[in-house]
Amino acid sequence: MKAVEDAIRSDAPATRVVVVEDDQASADVLQRRLQANGMVVSVAHDGRRGIELVEELLPDLVLLDVMLPDTDGYDVCLRIKSNSSTAPIPVIFLSARGEVVDKVRGLSCGAADYITKPFQAAELLARIDAVLGQARNPRVPRLARSAERAAGERRVARVAIADGALRAHVEQLLATRFDLAEDSDTPDVVLLEGNASLPADAPEDVAVVRVTAGRGSDDRTELIPVDVQLPRIVDLTVREHDLDHDLQSAAEALIVLAAAIASHDRPSTGHTERVAARAVQIGRALGLDESTRMTIRLGALLRDVGHARLPGSLLAKSGELSPDERGMLERHPVLGEEILAGFKRLSGLLPIVRHHHERLDGTGYPDGLRAEQIPLEVRIVTVADRFEALLADRSDRPAVSESEAVRILQGAVARGELDAAVVAALATQVRANGGN
């Protein structure tokens, strides 16, 4: 635990390194050397602890011995590289095994470098710098931009145009409405000439306006002519871009509504949030990107919003439903889709809302879709929903443990109802958390 606490206590932006080395003396020397160079070092003396430390700390770098008491370094490296959370962390092997086959094997496991012992400290540090330099993303993190902006504050524009005369002209036009970005400023909008690429250090989600010295174009890439209208068009582009960011706020309001409805429908509170959190975890385990995970989260939170159009007596009824009642209840995905269809910016969630009761074998509702007709995001929410439902007491059956719930879902996989890979991702999580 001390290694974790030391690393967490350190809030300086130092490079955090996990050293996995079974030889105490070697580990001490390495730790002192790295600490002397401003790095925060955590040490594990076997492979199992090494993997635990890497998963807990998500360090910037792992230095890994090949020969370990409980397993070998190749195995540890493969486990790091097979976990989507830890896969991006660079690994450097440190080993006395210096044959070509050993180096090839280490690098083929996904290591960034392989250093043979004994090594000179200067060489080790140089290689660490090189590996970290390649691994670091120079882009500004997406959440680093301030969400708040004081009223009347001017937007910041960066003119990334190579042609000096055109750049000066554009800057002159924009100066009436925008502050022009200095090197250290984070711009709200970047102006590029034609199809030029966004500069590597530009924020990932910045608004972009492409200009032309000519008369503009109507092909696939919209080019804005450089004339007196340019500041107004750039301003509109930035506002539209901000609206996209506000989608999250609008969705949150809907989620509050959906949660209020769900609290009437279900005896256990927080079910909807647990389904959303579980679905996001599964999405992460399957390596889905942040944007897709956000869609999954919002879709999971809003999936039952159609209940708002069903009679309260039907939702509150316990015991067996009549065929008519069941038919009415099974309309809730379609009703939910109708409610949300008016929100154009929520269109990405609609498949989750409409199809979260579909089954791979075509026996689900409302459309009886089969297998790959059901998007992966939907299949993830379906599994999370069924899993969390099994963990709660219901009038017709008691709650089951997480391990038992996984077994029940694996039965549904065997019958062809659920995606095996999605349930496998869930099972891996439950096992890793020691499933109750």
Partner 1 sequence: MSESIARLVMRTTANNLPLSRDDRPYQWSTTTYCDTLNWSIFRAAQKGSAMQLRIREYHRTRPQGVMNPGAAWIEFKDDEEDTSLKERFGVSMDVARAFLRGEMALPDPDHGLAERAGRLLKDGARPVVVTQYNRLAYNSLDTAVRITADHNLMYFALPWEARDDNDHPSPLGSLLAMEPDVIVEMKWYGELPHWAIDLHAYLKENTREERPSKFIVAMRWLLGETDGAKKRKK
Sole residue written with tokens 């700390």? 57
CB of 336 to partner 1, least distance (A): 24
Contact between 400 and partner 1 by CB under 8 A: the answer reads no
User: At closest approach, how far in Å is the CB of 54 from partner 1?
Assistant: 15
Question: What residues are paired with 224 via a beta bridge?
Answer: 211
Q: What are phi and psi of 365, to 5 degrees?
A: -135, 160
Q: Which residues contact 91 (CB under 8 A, 6 or more apart)?
A: 61, 62, 63, 64, 77, 80, 81, 110, 111, 112
Indicate the SS3 state at residue 114.
strand
Stretch that binds partner 1, among 105-113, 151-159, 219-227, 251-259 (CB under 8 A): 105-113
Binds partner 1 (CB under 8 A): choice among 22, 72, 330, 404: 72
The answer to whether residue 287 forms part of the interface with partner 1 (CB under 8 A) is: yes
Contact range with partner 1 by CB under 8 A, out of 6-14, 99-107, 240-248, 312-320: 99-107
* 64: nearest Cα among 22, 34, 101: 22
Number of Cβ within a 10 Å radius of residue 80: 26
Q: Which residue number, 254 or 360, has a Cβ lying nearer to partner 1? A: 360
Beta strands in 206-351 (DSSP E): 207-212, 224-225
Interface segment toward partner 1; rule CB under 8 A; list 183-191, 269-277, 310-318, 423-431: 423-431
Q: Considering only residues 228 through 247, tell me which ones interact with partner 1, judged by CB under 8 A.
A: none
Q: Which of 340, 327, 336 is nearest to 356 (CA)?
A: 336
Contacts of residue 302, Cβ cutoff 8 Å, sequence gap at least 6: 251, 254, 255, 258, 336, 340, 346, 349, 352, 353
Interface with partner 1, residue 79, by CB under 8 A: yes
CB of residue 384 vs partner 1: minimum separation in angstroms? Answer: 14
Number of residues that bind partner 1 (CB under 8 A): 43
Residue 410 binds partner 1 (CB under 8 A): yes
| Residue 227: both structure tokens together | 């004339």
CB of 414 to partner 1, least distance (A): 6
371 binds partner 1 (CB under 8 A): yes
Query: Which residues make up the interface to partner 1 (CB under 8 A)?
Result: 71-72, 74-75, 78-79, 81-83, 87, 101, 104-105, 107-110, 285-287, 360-361, 371-373, 376, 379, 406-407, 410, 413-414, 416, 419-425, 427-428, 431
